[in-house]
Amino acid sequence: MGNKKDIMKKIKSALISVSDKSNLKPLLKALTKNKIELISSGGTFKTIKKLKFKCIEVSEFTGFDEILDGRVKTLHPKIHAGILSKRNNRLHLKQLKKNNFQNIDLVIVNFYPFEKTLKNTKNQNKIIEKIDIGGPTLVRSAAKNYNDVTVITSVNQYQELIEQINRNKGATSLKFREKMSRLAFSETAYYDSVISNYFNLMSSDYFPKKKVIHANLIEKLRYGENPHQESAIYSIKENLKINKIHGKELSYNNYNDIFSALTISKNLPNGIGTVIVKHANPCGVSILKNKIKSYKSALACDPVSAFGGIVSCNFKIDKTLAIELNKVFFEVIIADGFNNDALQLLKLKKNLRIIDASNFQMSEILKINSQDESFLIQFDDKKKFTKKDFKIVSKKKPTRTQLNDLIFAFNICRYVKSNAIVLASNKSTIGIGSGQPSRLDSCQIAINKMSKFNNNEREIVAASDAFFPFLDGIENLVQAGVSAVIQPSGSIRDKEIIKFANETNTILVFSKTRHFRH
């Protein structure tokens, strides 16, 4: 494809069968002007006649009536022979003549709205009836024979086709036909993948033998993590359910941080919580109910790392909070809406990206991590924890406040790159150690952050995303003032850890679940 001589092909006849009947009039006008014969069926035929254009009905063209409630209309040898015949193949021409068939040079088809139907109903019979058979078959035939046939699969392609045939006196160029063929095969592949995934989900087969992933291009980005890397963002939905209402265009790194921040904030209690993210790691989280206190507590955890980061508020931002937010340089501010006066204040910063995420919801979609020609798939770590999921193994028992802080810290651990250590007090993080090969190093980083930025007089709790393999990690935490620790069980040294906790009068809580995040 692409290196051949750009051969023009005159269009003499066109088959039109579209579910989306918008913008047909200018297209039909251009086709008629160029003396192109129109063939159509069903609702499309009725629409064309209503618009007062001449058209042959498929049943008249084939001499065979539609059957099975319209399930079989265009699945006929006369149709597909006319599309698939090679115009320079003598045998093909002879067979067409013998059967009194004619060539079809243009196929205009868009499919039954299967994806839209999934959104509007759970009735399986209605869903099954919206699986288009004839449409994709016509498109595949035309796309395969792009050397002689033009295929159009979207209303958005009409204008380009009109320009082609008007410029070329009813003909299309090979380059145009190649392009439309490529887009057509993408369309049929996407359509079939949506159907395939529907059946897999229906049977709860999340890891089938053959995995097909479909996605829509949202936008091409200026570059990836670095300027020499090309990048784009795709979504299996038509949009991302987030609305940028101000600021510069979003970069690859912005999106990466935005989704990290939303993953945390949307899993906090409803309408509560502030998250600050830098390089996809949380550097401050608070679930205090007071919005100002929540933001200030999240910021206080690590104000240096927060500089140039992303703030995600699990609530609507008002003017008072906007004043505080404007005191710090942030790349992006996310919230479940903004008061008008708050928005006007934040917009004073020209480059600040402001994101309304009030329509964003976490879905059950699998997480994908790709590498070379392979990719790993897993469910996200979204298990909701309650007090029943933990076992107090130390002699000293936690107060209700301590236990709530422990569970809060452990929940935040799941969003911190492993090895992860989270120090917390009063429903807020006060030190986070992330992404270290050594758990001991993560402990030290969390302690250093706490010592540098937080003069905390309240009791300090610590959470680890996995068990402590040796005493040194928990020993450092206790020496730094930690009075309660939560960690997954499973180490051969669990008994030593419990013994140390009892000897130092430290509260120790075990979880059966770990939280690695690589």
Cα separation, 463 vs 436, in Å, equals 15
What is d(CA 367, CA 344) in angstroms, rounded to the nearest whole number?
Answer: 37
* Bigger pLDDT: 2 vs 340: 340
pLDDT per position as a tens digit, 281-328 = 999 999 999 999 999 999 999 999 999 999 999 999 999 999 999 999
pLDDT at 73 over 80: no
pLDDT digits (tens, 9 = 90+) for 127-168: 898 888 889 999 999 999 999 999 999 999 999 999 999 999
Mean pLDDT of the chain: 90
Q: Which residues contact 340 (CB under 8 A, 6 or more apart)?
A: none
Mean pLDDT of 241-252: 92
- Find the mean pLDDT for residues 417-434: 92
Give the number of C-alpha atoms closer than 13 A to the C-alpha of residue 391, restricted to the C-beta side: 10
User: What pLDDT does 4 receive?
Assistant: 54
Distances (CA, A) of 348 to 193, 307, 345, 364, 432: 45, 18, 6, 37, 32
Quote the strand ranges of 141-215, DSSP E: 150-152, 171-172
> What domains are there in the chain, each with its CATH number?
9-202 (3.40.50.1380), 243-356 (3.40.140.20), 387-511 (3.40.140.20)
Q: What tokens does 35 get?
A: 């003396």
For the chain, the first-to-last Cα distance in angstroms comes to: 41
Helix (H, G, I), strand (E, B) or coil at 94: helix
> For 468-501, what is each residue's pLDDT tens digit?
888 888 999 999 999 999 999 888 888 999 999 9
The answer, yes or no, to whether residue 364 has pLDDT greater than 70, is no
Beta-carbon contacts of residue 357 (< 8 Å; ≥ 6 apart)? 241, 242, 243, 262, 266, 312, 334, 335, 336
Q: What is the mean pLDDT of residues 198-209?
A: 87
3-state SS class at 114? helix
* 225 three-class SS: coil
- Per the CB < 8 A criterion, the answer to whether 460 and 424 are in contact is yes
Q: How far apart are CA 423 and CA 332, in angstroms?
A: 25
State the pairing for strand pair 216-221/231-235.
antiparallel
Residue 79 has pLDDT above 80, yes or no: yes
List active site positions.
Answer: 144, 279
149 φψ region: left (φ > 0), alpha (ψ -120 to 50), beta (else): beta
Measure Cα distances from 325 to 33, 67, 343 in Å: 61, 65, 11
In the predicted model, is pLDDT for residue 1 greater than 60? no
pTM of the model: 0.83
Helix spans in 302-413 (H):
303-306, 319-325, 340-346, 400-413
142 Cβ contact partners less than 8 Å away, ≥ 6 residues apart = 83, 107, 149, 150, 151, 181, 184
Instruction: Take residue 164 and report the two structure tokens written for it.
Output: 């082609």
User: How do beta strands 281-286 and 274-278 pair?
Assistant: antiparallel
User: Pairing between strand 482-488 and 460-464?
Assistant: parallel
H helices present in 168-308, as ranges: 174-202, 252-265, 291-301, 303-306
Among 259, 255, 122, 299, smallest CA distance to 201 is for 122
